[in-house]
Amino acid sequence: MKIETTLSGSFPKLPLEPGAPNVRVVRNRMDQGKSTDRDLADATRETTRRIVALQESAGVDIPVDGQVAWDDEQTYFARGIQGFEIAGLIRYLDTNTYYRQPEIVGPISWTRAVTVEDFRTAQKMAHRPIKAVLPGPYSLYRFSKDRHYRNQEEAAGAVGEALARESKALEEAGAAWIHFEEPWLGRATSSDAPVVRAALEPLFRGRKAKTVLHVPFRSPTGVLDAIRDLTWTALGLDLVEAPDAWSVIPKVPPGRTVALGLVDARNTRLENPSDIAKAVERARSMRSDLTWQLCPTASLEYLPVDRAAMKVSRLTEAARLASGDGG
Amino acid sequence: MPRGLWTTTVGSFPKPPHLERARSQFARGEISAERLNELEREATIEVIRSQEEIGLDILVDGELYRGDMTTYFAERMEGFQISNPVRSYGNRYYRKPVATGPVRRTDAWTVDWWKFAQDQTSKPVKGMLTGPYTMMDWSFNEHYPSREALAMDLAEAIREEAIALVEAGARFIQVDEPAISVRPEELKLAVRALGRAVDGVKAKTITHICYGDFDVIYPALLDLPVDMIDLEMANSRYDLLDRFRQHRFTKEIGYGVLDVHSHRIETKEEVKQGILRGLEFLRPEQMYIDPDCGLKTRTVEEAREKLAVMVAAVREVREERGITA
């Protein structure tokens, strides 16, 4: 059976080839007054084109747009939502990357699509369905500082409603897959279950697109009972940094998909595709009633672009081996 | 009369534009290492002079000869290679060390620069190093079987450098550990590694920590085996003081009062209020007033203006409270 491949989150924005359109250079030149917004838009579009092409030429089945315009994983979306203000820089969990902390300063209200144009742009460049990537509502809530709501469930629910509206807009624009990056599900415990449910439930009401809840860095063991019966299509697990996530697989409801995060997005050491294929086989031997995707453990932007590109190739090679195609 | 509220900075200063250009020219092979070194020395003299003019009590060399706080050291060690750029936030990138073999110190990393800076001033200049836990956490590891094994080898190397700095005359050794604040489950490893790095170092030892979730690591943070812990206070709107209310801060503190990620120059009054709020929970002799973090992301002018405001605010508080330096 074919194992589909996909990526999680963003992708390095710097080019592999010197002289190629480079958003970093353009943004530096903008700071010096030497480049314009239009230059940045051009570089962003060409970088997206390169990232989509890289994935397609490697054989990724469900590519992403790379989130080229995003400064971090939270604020690009939060800036576009009423009720959020963006505050100081804070470290993104235990990574040496940072985000500006969203602050909830009033009622959260979705008034316009934030990511739909980016999705359309990437989809026009692609021959395969682009997976739209959004922050997960529970994580966006936990990454934010709430200065408005008195009640955690109410606040998390409002964030969930905003992301549900965004998801609907993406669906209407043609998105077949919507990915929610949910690192905080790996840090939640059973006592967080009501807040987790409040954040996630709105996402799946009337949803037509296939959905992924991807949990990088840690296992979602602590809240598995709270999310099991939600109607997500796929659950993404980080099986490298969180080997205990293997214990989640037996508890996944029948008929669902597990996205196996077996390519380490946080270390340059390159995996052997046959080792990955063996790990896929291990997962398949555990459950015959699930379908499988293969993906990196997290966003590949934790790596330099050369290694990220190599990891994409290893990923697709491993999927071919695991699918019995070319092994 | 109580003493305290000494002023200092966390480490890095902005590189002046001509030095940034020179570094790019050097990277492209357009100028020699000697020429770059000459410009770095001139800029270091200027940074020392500027700190003296502003009136800081404890100075730094400004780290104008360094790029990233981990890569600078990794480039000078055996066992590391350096990756292509990786993004940290927005448009900021750094080259990340890759441990590809056993890591070790083969030569001094900062001693000559410390001596050069100290020769320019009669005020004490801090020796500035990056800690073993942070070096480990911010590197890719292609060699060691565990994070602990890499961290402890790094601790040995850093200890050798710290002792060399003290032998050269340094009275303050700062071993920065900004990565400590994010993995509470590894705090014991961080304590052990930092403890090894400062073991036998006969100087006032300091560690700087920033941008993490202090809810989960305080008060365990106080186990860090150093004399002073330097913390960002302004960036989190002095929220940390609530934790100090619940559990007394028992060490000396580097008390950050300037947001280093904002172009805005703080007012003297807001810095003063930040210090006065700290004095509700801390004794003046515990407190060293400084920016939240290194100033390298500000312009030369912004850094100077921010520090001048800080020193003016400290002077007013000292005068009002009868505190001497």
Give yes or no for a contact between B295 and B262, defined as CB atoms under 8 angstroms apart: no
Q: How many Å apart are CA A86 and CA A99, to the nearest integer? A: 10
Chain A neighbors of B141, CB-CB under 8 A: 267, 269
Among chain A residues, the shortest Cα distance to B89 is held by A98
Buried b (16+ CB within 10 A) or exposed e, B30-56: ebeeeebeebbbebbbbbbebbeebbb
User: Do β-strands B6-7 and A82-91 pair in parallel, antiparallel, or remain unpaired?
Assistant: unpaired
ipTM of the complex: 0.92
Q: Is residue B122 part of a domain?
A: yes
Q: How many Å apart are CA A173 and CA A186, to the nearest integer? A: 31
Read off the pLDDT of residues A104-147 as tens digits, 9 standing for 90 and up.
Answer: 999 999 999 999 999 999 999 999 999 999 999 999 999 999 99
Sequence ranges of the domains in chain A: 4-322
Give yes or no for a contact between A64 and A78, defined as CB atoms under 8 angstroms apart: no
Note the residue count of chain B: 325
Q: How many Å apart are CA A199 and CA B71, to the nearest integer? A: 40
Min Cα distance B163 → chain A (Å) is 28
> To the nearest whole percent, how much of chain B has pLDDT over 90?
88
Of B251, B252, B254, nearest in space to B232 by CA: B254
Tens-digit pLDDT profile for chain B (325 aa)? 789 999 999 999 999 999 999 999 998 899 999 999 999 999 999 999 999 999 999 999 999 999 889 999 999 999 999 999 999 999 999 999 999 999 999 999 999 999 999 999 999 999 999 999 999 999 999 999 999 999 999 999 999 999 999 999 999 999 999 888 778 889 999 999 999 999 999 999 999 998 667 778 899 999 999 999 999 999 888 989 999 999 999 999 999 999 998 889 999 999 999 999 999 999 999 999 999 999 998 999 999 999 999 999 999 999 999 999 8
Min Cα distance B109 → chain A (Å) is 23
Among chain A residues, the shortest Cα distance to B82 is held by A304
Q: How many Å apart are CA A235 and CA A185, to the nearest integer? A: 11
Residue B53 structure tokens: 């003019």
Interface test with A, best of B21, B24, B81, B91 (most A CBs within 10 A): B91
Q: Is residue B99 part of a domain?
A: no
Q: Is residue B229 part of a domain?
A: yes
Q: Does any CB of chain B come closer than 8 Å to the CB of residue A12?
A: yes
Triad A156, A158, A161: Cα angle to 5°? 110
Q: Is residue B104 part of a domain?
A: no
Interface test with B, best of A51, A85, A89 (most B CBs within 10 A): A89
3-class SS string, chain A: CCCEEECCCCCCCCCCCCCCCCHHHHHHHHHCCCCCHHHHHHHHHHHHHHHHHHHHHHCCCECECCCCCCCCCCHHHHCCCEEEEEEEEEECCCCCCEEEEEEEEEEEECCCCCCHHHHHHHHHHCCCCCEEEEECHHHHHHHCEECCCCCHHHHHHHHHHHHHHHHHHHHHCCCCEEEEECHHHHCCCHHHHHHHHHHHHHHHCCCCCEEEEEECCCCHHHHHHHHCCCCCCEEEEECCCCHHHHHHHHHCCCCCEEEEEEECCCCCCCCCHHHHHHHHHHHHHHCCCCEEEEEECCCHHHCCHHHHHHHHHHHHHHHHHHCCCCC
Interface test with A, best of B87, B100, B141 (most A CBs within 10 A): B87
Residues of B with CB under 8 A from a CB of A: 83-91, 93, 96, 98, 137-138, 140-142, 179, 181-183, 211-212, 235-236, 259, 261
Q: What is the mean pLDDT of residues A264-280?
A: 97
Q: Please state whether the peptide bond connecting residue B178 to the residue before it is cis, i.e. omega within 30 degrees of 0.
A: no
**Axis crossing angle, helix A37-58 with helix A23-31, rounded to the nearest 10:** 170
Tell which wins on pLDDT, B82 or A325.
Answer: B82
Chain B neighbors of A267, CB-CB under 8 A: 140-142
Min Cα distance B296 → chain A (Å) is 15
Read off the pLDDT of residues B29-39 as tens digits, 9 standing for 90 and up.
Answer: 999 999 999 99
Read off the pLDDT of residues A145-201 as tens digits, 9 standing for 90 and up.
Answer: 999 998 999 999 999 999 999 999 999 999 999 999 999 999 999 999 999 999 999
- Predicted confidence (pLDDT) at residue A327 exceeds the cutoff of 50: no
Q: Is residue B100 part of a domain?
A: no
Mean pLDDT of chain A: 96
Chain A neighbors of B138, CB-CB under 8 A: 96
CA distances for A215 relative to A34, A234, A280, B69, B220, angstroms:
40, 11, 18, 30, 28
Residue A96 structure tokens: 């040496």
What pLDDT is recorded for position B258? 97
CATH number at residue B276: 3.20.20.210
Triad A233, A236, A240: Cα angle to 5°? 160
Give yes or no for a contact between A204 and A211, defined as CB atoms under 8 angstroms apart: yes
Per-window interface: A 52-71 vs B, CB < 8 A: 71
Among chain B residues, the shortest Cα distance to A93 is held by B182
User: Do β-strands B92-105 and B77-89 pair in parallel, antiparallel, or remain unpaired?
Assistant: antiparallel
Q: What architecture (CATH level 2) is domain A4-322?
A: Alpha-Beta Barrel (3.20)
What dihedral do alpha carbons A94, A99, A105, A109 form, nearest 10°?
A: -110
Question: What does the radius of gyration of chain A's CA atoms come to, in whole angstroms?
Answer: 19
Give yes or no for a contact between B302 and B263, defined as CB atoms under 8 angstroms apart: yes
Torsion A306-A309-A314-A317 (CA) sign = negative
Question: Given its phi and psi angles, is residue B94 left (phi above 0), alpha (psi -120 to 50 degrees) or beta?
Answer: beta
Of B156, B293, B135, B270, nearest in space to B211 by CA: B293
What dihedral do alpha carbons B245, B248, B251, B253 form, nearest 10°?
A: 0
Interface test with B, best of A72, A96, A301 (most B CBs within 10 A): A96
- Predicted confidence (pLDDT) at residue A6 exceeds the cutoff of 80: yes
Chain B neighbors of A97, CB-CB under 8 A: 87-89
Read off the pLDDT of residues B138-176 as tens digits, 9 standing for 90 and up.
Answer: 999 999 999 999 999 999 999 999 999 999 999 999 999
Q: State phi, psi for B292 to the nearest 5 degrees.
A: -65, -30
Triad A90, A92, A95: Cα angle to 5°? 125
What pLDDT is recorded for position B229? 97
What pLDDT is recorded for position A250? 98
What pLDDT is recorded for position A325? 66
Q: Which of A72, A88, A268 sits opposite B235 (nearest CB)?
A: A88
Per-window interface: A 141-180 vs B, CB < 8 A: none
CB contact under 8 A, A97 and B87: yes
Predicted structure pTM score: 0.89
Q: Which of B85, B91, B261 sits opposite A88 (nearest CB)?
A: B261
Give yes or no for a contact between A210 and A176, defined as CB atoms under 8 angstroms apart: yes
Strand partners, A238: A261
- Overall domain count for chain B: 1
Number of A to B CB contacts under 8 A, please give it. 71
CA distances for B81 relative to A33, B77, B143, B257, angstroms:
35, 9, 11, 36
Among chain A residues, the shortest Cα distance to B97 is held by A268
Interface test with B, best of A16, A29, A91, A95 (most B CBs within 10 A): A91
Residue B76 structure tokens: 């000078």
Residue B161 belongs to what domain range?
6-69+109-321
CB contact under 8 A, B83 and A98: no
Triad A99, B11, B112: Cα angle to 5°? 135
